[in-house]
Amino acid sequence: MIPEPAGEGLVERVREALATVHDPEIPSVSIVDLGLVETVRADEAGRVEVELLPTFTGCPALDIIALEAERAVRATPGVRSAEVRFVLHPAWTTDRISPEGRRRLREFGIAPPAPSAARPAPDVACPFCGSKDTVVESAFGPTRCRSIYYCRACRNPFEKIKEV
């Protein structure tokens, strides 16, 4: 066993490890950039506890995300045990998605949510051509967190993260 410094250094390394974990339904964005990581605690003995927030409570990817996160944390040098769990409080909101997360969503073809402070909600820009000549097709899309839009300029359907 190689002794590893605990405390702050370990928390930092665990956060880096979590940044390699992705939502399987949005593989371009890490769970850190999505704002899912609420707390990371580590003690001297290398025991780590991670609390994640679900985007939507009915998201079927939650179990896989927790499993992948636990695997990444366990593989971090200095970690002896890891517990990863989802908590409902505070509620995840789309404002938790980082600027980098928003950029990567767009890159993946998904329009990012508008910031909740923006009222009235601004026009939705097509992630493919950038046009704002878009219409909502359905509030309910292929996953719990996305709506379906249509771009009248480039005639592509696209998805957008719902504001919550």
Partner 1 sequence: MTGRGGPLRHVLLSLADDELVLGHRDSEWTAFAPFIEEDVALASIAQDELSHAAVYLRLLAEAEPDAPEDERDPDRLTFLRGPEAFRNARLLERPNGDWAYTCVRHLAYDLFDDLRLKALARSGYRPLAEAVDRLAREERYHLVHGRTWLARLGEAEGEARERLALAVGAVMADAPGLFEESPEDELAVAAGIVPAGPAALAAPWAEAMRAELAPIGLADRVPPPETLVRDARGDGPKGPLGGRRGRHTDDLSALLSALGEVYRSDPRASW
Contact pattern from residue 121 through residue 140 relative to partner 1, giving x for each residue in contact according to CB under 8 A and a dash for the rest: ----------------xxxx
133/163 with CB nearer partner 1: 163
Work out whether 112 is an interface residue with partner 1 (CB under 8 A): no
Contact pattern from residue 36 through residue 55 relative to partner 1, giving x for each residue in contact according to CB under 8 A and a dash for the rest: ------------------x-
Phi and psi dihedrals of 38, rounded to 5?
-95, -55
Judged by CB under 8 A, the number of residues near partner 1 is 21
Say if CB 158 and CB 69 are below 8 A apart.
Answer: no
Work out whether 81 is an interface residue with partner 1 (CB under 8 A): no
Q: Quickly list H helices, the chain.
A: 8-18, 62-74, 99-107
Distance CA 139, CA 148 (A): 6
Distance CA 10, CA 47 (A): 10
Binding site for partner 1 (CB under 8 A): 54, 56-58, 60, 88-93, 137-142, 144, 148, 162, 164
